[in-house]
């Protein structure tokens, strides 16, 4: 019998929590998550951190929420556009349902 070593990869013996931890690590490794993290953390920090002399936040709520929403929409549209094929592989048949 060939040993695959699958049991060595499991943290909680293939339970729900094992799959959850793997999903979290996969999300941390994704480029989209890293972009959102590096763009959103300074924005959220600036929205709630008050300036020393004025007492006002560094970034207003309207500007911060607009930036966060715009960043998410930009990344989502970029993914949709990158997954869209602009050319047809077979020129004899035009199938728009792919």
Helix (H, G, I), strand (E, B) or coil at 57: strand
- pLDDT tens readout for residues 34-73: 877 888 888 888 888 887 788 888 888 898 889 888 888 8
Inter-axis angle of helices 31-48 and 16-29, to 10 degrees? 80
pLDDT at 6 over 70: no
Instruction: Return the CA Rg of the chain.
Output: 22
pTM, whole model, 2 decimals? Answer: 0.48
């Amino acid at each position: 019998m060939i040993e695959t070593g699958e049991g060595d990869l499991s943290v909680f013996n293939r339970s729900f929590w094992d799959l959850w931890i793997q999903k979290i690590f996969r999300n941390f490794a994704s480029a989209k998550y890293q972009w959102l993290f590096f763009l959103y953390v300074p924005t959220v920090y600036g929205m709630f951190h008050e300036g020393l002399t004025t007492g006002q936040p560094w970034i207003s709520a309207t500007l911060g929420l607009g930036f966060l929403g715009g960043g998410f929409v930009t990344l989502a549209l970029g993914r949709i556009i990158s997954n869209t094929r602009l050319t047809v592989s077979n020129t004899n048949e035009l199938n728009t349902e792919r």
